[in-house]
């Protein structure tokens, strides 16, 4: 480590976060440019600088005294991003940063630009037989790669002492679920058509921890200045990756297609070249000559991806971290706890019924418990700040605790009606918010909200309960869409009537011949919905009928119908 702080952009991202961890582990002073607060980085001792690359006036003073700038921030979205988006984030953002550095860091030792192997790619006539090297032509095939090439040019022309690092395919914890090998691994696990062939295309794979070490070396080593450096790790074929993720499956050999690529490379688009040849491999010997030695083989790096993606697809696989279940002492919460606890190493069971929790923990001694009344805002805050909640980051939350009140709204005190919303909506909102930040950082999480079939229409004489469930349905679906691309699976569940304590506690009558769902069968249905990737699960014929009637009946008719039914039956 050389003196002076390191200034890291994109510190909240996949690469930037790992880089900050590595620098702090070495005792380096780190300033991180972030758009939003980051408790994890702050806890590591990183000095968080709030701001956006597009508005340097707000943060450029923090560059004073900086020894090295490592520019990780970029837009790398291959799903729907337009050229101007890349231009704004990757080119204009780099230009703004370079100008701020020139004006505010006169003693800068090194400006490290994190580029990509995609800034090079392959020319039309390249048969992709040999790895890329320092002499390869720059022929980027994507908007992202072209923006990185233009940003590289700005760095080279800046007059600053610079280093450019071009990583190959970076993998590890926190990688986006729509990134290269995450997609490939899920295809293999699902036995999707893509994985039916033994694709001979080779890819350079570098673990994010090894890339972070390369970036520190590029910032510190005098000989790293100047020419771009590839950071490619170890090459692995896609066929080998498929076999590692799903061993024992037969795959169609397509060596003939690779031979066709070598014979007539101009006929093949770049993406197909990558699947058949060595398009995304590179010679990183110059970086190794500086002292960089990757600790992870390609297979070891991919093992982490395989474990995570298997847990993403299979809700019965332990996702790591902690599983939180509220309302765990009885009803559906208990059924989910009984279903999932044997499959999880770390489970936190929450309920206000201490005796019920103790009985459940006796059956599953490895589970933690927390007694909390979720209708009390202070109790909710205490829960999310407790050692039990913070023992491990929550990887999944099943929020089942619920409350209902039967009767006309004016027949009950405001406090009792309010309690329904506090338990059913506000507590879920607070607990989910407390868990989802870490899920977004890790690009993995599972959130399950238990609503009800009552969410689909207003229910006179059960008005507060139905309204709270309607809020859960609307908020859950909308929030789920917001976090979907962060790798968080948000499922809202609307079961029909269940045989639980709800009827007695809410004052709802049970009809003599009424068929109520057993909590265990609803728990099974929740797990099945998670496995299918559903974001809304409507459980039972009654619940489906209520949802259908809400869609097809005029609102006034629906209200009249449910008024009569509630008066007669409930």
Q: Which of 506, 504, 492 is nearest to 539 (CA)?
A: 492
Mean pLDDT of 45-51: 95
Average pLDDT over residues 311-324: 96
Query: Which SS3 state, helix, strand or coil, does residue 9 take?
Result: strand
The reported pLDDT for the residue numbered 412 is 84
- Whether residue 358 sits in one domain with residue 258: no
Cβ atoms 16, 41 nearer than 8 A? no
Whether 348 and 290 map to the same domain: the answer is no
Q: What is the mean pLDDT of residues 156-179?
A: 95
Indicate whether 249 and 371 sit together in one domain. Answer: no
Are 19 and 215 spatial neighbours (Cβ–Cβ below 8 Å)? Answer: yes
Same domain for 341 and 206: no
Calculate ∠ Cα 483-426-391, nearest 5°: 70
286 and 374 assigned to the same domain: no
The enclosing H or E element of 235 equals strand 234-237
Same structural domain, 157 and 302: yes
| CATH of residue 555 | 3.40.50.720
- Low-confidence winner among 170-174, 190-194, 302-306, 564-568 (lowest mean pLDDT): 564-568
pLDDT exceeds 90 at position 548: no
Task: Copy the structure tokens of residue 315.
Answer: 């809700």
User: Which pTM value belongs to this model?
Assistant: 0.89
Determine contact, residues 231/206, Cβ cutoff 8 Å: yes
Tell me the pLDDT tens digit for each residue of 78-93. 554 555 688 888 999 9
Domain shared by 235 and 378, yes or no: no
Is position 1 within any domain?
no
Q: Phi and psi dihedrals of 181, rounded to 5? A: -70, -25
- Same structural domain for residues 234 and 321? no
pLDDT at 386 over 70: yes
Are residues 339 and 297 located together in one domain of the fold?
no
Is 204 part of a structural domain of the chain?
A: yes
Separation between Cα atoms, residue 314 and residue 317, nearest integer Å? 6
Tell whether the model's pLDDT for residue 456 goes beyond 70.
yes
Domain boundary among 310, 335, 352: 310
Domain count within the chain: 2
Whether residue 158 is contained in a domain is answered as yes
Q: How far apart are CA 152 and CA 161, in angstroms?
A: 13
- According to the model, what pLDDT value does residue 385 have? 96
Q: Which of 162-171, 482-491, 546-555 has the lowest mean pLDDT?
A: 546-555
Domain final position from 291, 310, 329: 310
Q: Is residue 461 part of a domain?
A: yes
Q: Which pLDDT belongs to residue 451?
A: 95
Tokens describing residue 125: 């006539």
Q: Which structural domain range is residue 290 located in?
A: 6-310
pLDDT at residue 49 in the model: 95
Residue 71: which of 101, 48, 43 has the closest Cα?
101
| Residue 185 shares a structural domain with residue 81 | yes
Backbone phi and psi for residue 141, each to the nearest 5 degrees, phi listed first:
-105, -10
Calculate mean pLDDT across residues 117-132.
95
What's the token pair of residue 521? 């069968």
The residue with tokens 């720059």 is 138
Strand partners, 112: 70, 163
Final residue belonging to a domain, choices 276, 310, 344: 310
**Same domain assignment for residues 54 and 170:** yes
Residues 245 and 360 both lie in one domain: no
Q: How many Å apart are CA 284 and CA 293, to the nearest integer?
A: 10
Residue 214 counted as domain residue: yes
The CA-based dihedral angle spanning residues 297, 298, 299, 304, taken in that order and rounded to the nearest 10 degrees: 100
> Residue 503 has what pLDDT?
58
Please, how many CA atoms are within 13 Å of residue 296, restricted to the half-sphere of its CB?
A: 26
Q: Cβ(540)–Cβ(435) under 8 Å?
A: no
Q: 330 lies in a domain? A: yes
Task: Give 18's DSSP letter.
Answer: H
Q: Is the pLDDT of residue 164 over 80?
A: yes
């Amino acid at each position: 480590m050389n003196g002076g702080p390191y200034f890291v952009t994109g510190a909240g991202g996949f690469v930037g976060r790992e880089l900050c961890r590595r620098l702090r582990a070495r005792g380096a002073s780190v300033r991180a440019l972030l758009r939003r607060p980051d408790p994890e980085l702050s806890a590591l001792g990183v000095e968080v600088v709030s701001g956006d690359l597009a508005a340097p006036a707000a943060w450029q003073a923090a560059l004073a005294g900086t020894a090295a700038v490592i520019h990780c921030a970029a837009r790398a979205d291959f799903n729907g991003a337009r050229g101007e988006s890349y231009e704004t984030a990757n080119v204009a953002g780099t230009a703004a940063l370079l100008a701020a550095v020139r004006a505010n860091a006169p003693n800068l030792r090194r400006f490290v630009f994190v580029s990509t192997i995609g800034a090079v790619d392959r020319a039309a006539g390249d048969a992709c037989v040999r790895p890329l090297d320092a002499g390869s032509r720059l022929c980027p095939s994507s908007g992202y790669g072209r923006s990185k090439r233009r940003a590289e040019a700005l760095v080279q022309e800046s007059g600053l002492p610079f280093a450019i690092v071009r990583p190959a395919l970076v993998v590890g914890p926190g990688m986006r679920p729509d990134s290269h090998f995450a997609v490939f691994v899920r295809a293999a696990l699902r036995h999707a058509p893509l994985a039916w062939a033994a694709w001979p295309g080779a890819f350079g794979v570098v673990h994010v921890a090894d890339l972070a070490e390369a970036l520190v070396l590029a910032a510190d080593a005098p000989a790293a200045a100047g020419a771009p450096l590839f950071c490619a790790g170890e090459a692995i074929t896609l066929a080998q990756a498929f076999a590692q993720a799903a061993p024992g499956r037969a795959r169609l050999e397509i060596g003939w297609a690779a031979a066709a690529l070598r014979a007539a490379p101009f006929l093949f688009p770049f993406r197909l070249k990558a699947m058949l040849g060595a398009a995304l491999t590179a010679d990183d010997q110059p970086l190794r000559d500086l002292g960089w030695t990757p600790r992870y083989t390609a297979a070891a790096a991919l093992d982490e991806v395989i474990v995570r993606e298997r847990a993403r697809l299979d809700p019965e696989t332990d996702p790591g971290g902690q599983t939180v279940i509220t309302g765990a002492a009885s009803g559906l919460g208990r059924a989910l706890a009984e279903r999932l606890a044997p499959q999880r190493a770390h489970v936190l069971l929450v309920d206000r019924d201490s005796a019920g929790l103790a009985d459940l923990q006796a059956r599953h001694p490895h589970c933690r418990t927390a007694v909390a009344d979720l209708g009390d805002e202070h109790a909710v805050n205490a829960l999310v700040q407790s050692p039990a909640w913070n023992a491990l980051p929550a990887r999944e939350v099943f929020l089942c605790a619920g409350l209902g009140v039967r009767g006309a709204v004016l027949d009950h005190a405001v406090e009792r009606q309010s309690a329904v919303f506090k338990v059913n909506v506000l507590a879920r909102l607070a607990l989910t918010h407390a868990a989802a930040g870490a899920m977004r950082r890790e690009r993995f999480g599972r959130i399950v909200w238990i609503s009800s079939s009552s969410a689909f229409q207003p229910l006179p004489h059960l008005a507060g309960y139905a309204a709270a469930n309607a809020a859960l349905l609307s908020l859950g679906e909308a929030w789920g869409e917001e976090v979907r691309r962060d790798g968080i699976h948000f499922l809202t569940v609307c079961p029909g009537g269940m045989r639980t304590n709800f009827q007695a506690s809410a004052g709802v009558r049970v009809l003599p011949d009424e068929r109520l769902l057993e909590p265990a069968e609803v728990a099974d249905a929740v797990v099945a919905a998670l496995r299918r990737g559903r974001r809304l699960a409507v459980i039972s014929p009654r619940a489906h009928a209520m949802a259908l009637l809400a869609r097809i009946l005029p609102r006034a008719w629906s209200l009249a119908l449910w008024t009569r039914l509630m008066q007669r039956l409930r």
